[in-house]
Amino acid sequence: MDLLPRLLQAPASSFFLFGPRGTGKSLWVRTAFPDAVRIDLLDPAEFHSLQARPERLLERVRGMRDAGVVIIDEVQKVPELLSAVHLLIEENPARRFVLTGSSARKLKRAGVDLLAGRAAMRSMHPFMAAELGSLFDLTTALETGMVPLVRAAVDPREALAAYVGLYLREEIQAEGLVRQLRAFGRFLEAISFSHGSVLNVANVSRECEVERTTVEGYLAVLEDLLLAFRIPVFTKRARRQMTTHPKFYLFDAGLFRSLRPSGPLDQPEAIGGAALEGLVAQHLRTWISLRGGSENLYFWRTTDAVEVDFVIYGPGGFWAIEVKNTARVRPDDLAGLRAFGTDYPEAKRILLHRGPHALEIDGIQCLRVDEFLLSLVPELGPGDA
């Protein structure tokens, strides 16, 4: 598992690499730059030395005459280092810095300029199905997710359960991002019900018994730690009245399953449907990121609840994608895509399902979701394999 190649390509210049814990940033940079000088700020000795005197970085790098690439892991722990990095790049533009981090929040709070555009931005996401190849199994992905740290564990379920605790202990509590961990824990459970749904902050606030402003702050923490994202409504050339609230997703289907409580009154197909939609969302988001972010991810929903789960729009193409957790495609499953096609005949329409065969119905590609995910690579568009 550790040796699986990733689809991320390193830029030719210095760059930031942000991604949630456990997505394989450190392993990837070690593999991509085996001869680089590495400074790991998770090492207590390194952290305390450079926190006390960030200028020590200048001394160390200037003394490394053959150091072509310098890796600084978890750079957000000492934001002041970026001033030194900026100066070192000015002194020697040929030297490359690779700056990894699991949160941009502390860098934002410190008011740093992220090297004033002198470093590119890249993101590390959970595995894509195409990266796993024959190791990809849809059922496993829906139950324990695609985070490399979890998938590499002897007991992925146990590792997934510990994953939230890792963030609570090492990120949120250590950085003082929230005042009351118990209230934040209630929020995490409540927000799991919004996964794959239009986000209603007021409802979440009532559910976890905290103020609306507190919920907005908690959402910002999740997004700053790259644990969640929102997608906006597609409104270009809108012919109908559209909803205005975004949809919310946790960054990994396994994290959703870990946070989402279930009991005798819960319908397994509803939870499974949300997990499947989230798995597709994280793949589409990663695909866009790997292509350089020229496309954007949306959803489409009218005020009378006609909806398409995902819309991708940009220079590379225009796609509308619906996800159904069903083995049989029914006429009602195509209603949203048919309505979208009426308004946007230019769009390529795709329905993803769990049935045994690919179909084409009324100009709509109906593809097996597992085959679709395996074919999703930066060089191809959705459904082009």
**Residue 355: its pLDDT value, please?**
94
**Residue 51: its pLDDT value, please?**
93
Specify whether the backbone of 77 is left (phi greater than 0), alpha (psi in -120 to 50) or beta: alpha
**280-308: b (≥16 Cβ within 10 Å) or e:** bbbbbbbbbbbbeeebebbbbbbeeebbb
Question: What's the CATH number for 15-123?
Answer: 3.40.50.300
72 Cβ partners below 8 Å, 6+ apart? 39, 41, 81, 85, 97, 98, 99, 100
- Which uninterrupted H or E stretch holds 219? helix 212-224
Runs of H (alpha helix) within 291-368: 335-343
**Residue 182: its pLDDT value, please?**
79
Please name which of 169, 130, 132, 174 lies closest in space to residue 150, comparing C-alpha atoms: 132
Contact predicate 19/123, CB 8 Å: yes
**Residue 103: its pLDDT value, please?**
76
**98 CB-side CA count, 13 A:** 30
Domain ranges of the chain: 15-123, 129-375
Neighbours of 117 (CB within 10 A): 8
**Residue 141: its pLDDT value, please?**
96
**Residue 149: its pLDDT value, please?**
92
Please name which of 129, 125, 130, 135 lies closest in space to residue 1, comparing C-alpha atoms: 135
Residues of the chain with pLDDT under 70: 1-2, 67, 105-106, 108-114, 116-117, 168-170, 173-177, 263-268
**Residue 104: its pLDDT value, please?**
72
Tokens of 188: 């995490």
Contact predicate 299/328, CB 8 Å: no
Q: Is the dihedral of CA 67, 73, 77, 82 positive or negative?
A: positive
**Residue 268: its pLDDT value, please?**
65
**Residue 177: its pLDDT value, please?**
64
Please tell me the pTM assigned to this model: 0.92
**Residue 113: its pLDDT value, please?**
63
Runs of H (alpha helix) within 260-304: 268-290
**Residue 208: its pLDDT value, please?**
86
Sheet holding 96-101, edge to edge: 37-40, 69-73, 96-101, 15-18, 120-123
